[in-house]
Amino acid sequence: MDEALIRSLTPGVLTVLVRRGADFAAAEDAVQDALVEAVRGWPDDPPRDPKGWLVTVAWRRFLDASRADTARRRREDRVEEEPAPGPAPGVDDTLQLYFLCAHPSLTPSSAVALTLRAVGGLTTRQIARAYLVPEATMAQRISRAKRTVSGVRFDRPGDVATVLRVLYLVFNEGYSGDVDLAAEAIRLTRQLAASVDHPEVAGLLALMLLHHARRAARTAPDGSLVPLAEQDRGRWDTASIAQGVRILQAALARDRLGEFQAQAAIAALHADAPTAGETDWVQIVEWYDELARLTDNPVVRLNRAVAVSEADGPRAGLAELATLDDTLPRHTAVAAYLHERDGDLDTAARLYAEAAHKAPDLAERDHLVRQAARLNSRHRHAR
């Protein structure tokens, strides 16, 4: 069995059933039944039209289930006439499945899980392992999500921005267990880019490629975090960087700037610098200004304060930081870094230790603890 082929066909088959009137949960059950039959029969007798075969078998399974369910007898008038078997339409209608899985009525975690299940073709076990939760917990989450969208019909355009936020959430989960969610997010975003002509879709794809290109250099052999300025740039994936830059340039040329394009532009400037010292921080500050205008996001302004410190000096960065809410995530870590650059090592060491207690994950906490220990050790030796 060609697993990649199955995963590429499944979303389209599911969409066909939903278009014909099947609710989402019942359609997915029917598609899974068809896949089981495919596993049994295809190795000995592969069909000439795999998608058409899956659509025909899945639709029959749906009809059988509908007729057996007394609570749905009223549907029989609509589903009695089965479309004649034949080649499935060649058009890629997976786009509407993206919109369904990113429906506003779903929580972000449910939208992510349903997207990975229905569009990505991952099993419930794979998704559970990726998110480090029990399989039963993930199964309940996916079941609730399917029930939520079961009554939704494709009667109006979906919101591309919501789909992009869901895909970005998937990407930021990175790698865990046996599923590389960052790579999966890139694959799904490529698929979306092939289905919809939208500069922000291209912007998100470029952003993912540019960030993912630095992945090998982000951690040391012992698993500790390596800050961007200290990364071995020879380990960056130059092919992914070049592709990301090309996609970004094409998107920017359309003059419909969005937040993902602005973020990708910042990532591209980092990727373009041969060394950390050669980074064009002045341009980065300008792009953060654009991003702040587009999003009015306080976290963007926090990152901008770091860029200002690199472009105009740590005092300028600290002045920017003083205008922001000190309860922002990573505010204390940024303050520690800026005080260190300004030469106030005692304050920096204290703030690094404080930031470590607020760190969202173990790797970041350990990194901040090491930063505090490094400054404390330097201070002791200076005495």
pLDDT values of the chain reduced to their tens digit, one per residue, 383 residues? 677 788 888 888 998 888 888 888 888 899 999 998 998 888 888 899 999 999 999 999 988 888 776 444 444 444 444 444 544 444 345 677 888 888 888 888 888 888 888 888 888 888 888 777 899 999 999 999 988 888 776 555 568 888 998 899 889 876 555 678 888 889 989 989 988 889 999 999 999 999 999 999 999 998 889 999 999 999 999 999 999 999 999 999 999 999 999 999 999 999 999 999 999 999 999 999 999 999 989 999 999 999 999 999 999 999 999 999 999 989 999 999 999 999 999 999 999 999 999 998 888 999 999 999 999 887 665 55
22 contacts 62 by C-beta, under 8 angstroms: yes
> How many angstroms separate the CA atoms of 292 and 141, rounded?
34
Beta partners for 205?
none
Q: Work out the angle at residue 61's Cα, subtended by the Cα atoms of residues 138 and 116, and round it to the nearest 5 degrees.
A: 25
C-alpha to C-alpha distances, 146 to 112, 122, 159, 191, nearest whole angstrom = 12, 15, 19, 22
> How many angstroms separate the CA atoms of 22 and 71, rounded?
14
**Amino acid 175: pLDDT:** 59
| Other beta carbons within 10 Å of 71 | 6
Length of the chain: 383
> How many angstroms separate the CA atoms of 234 and 94, rounded?
38
pTM over 0.85: no
DSSP character at residue 115: I
Angle formed by the axes of helices 3-19 and 94-101, to 10°?
80
271 contacts 241 by C-beta, under 8 angstroms: yes
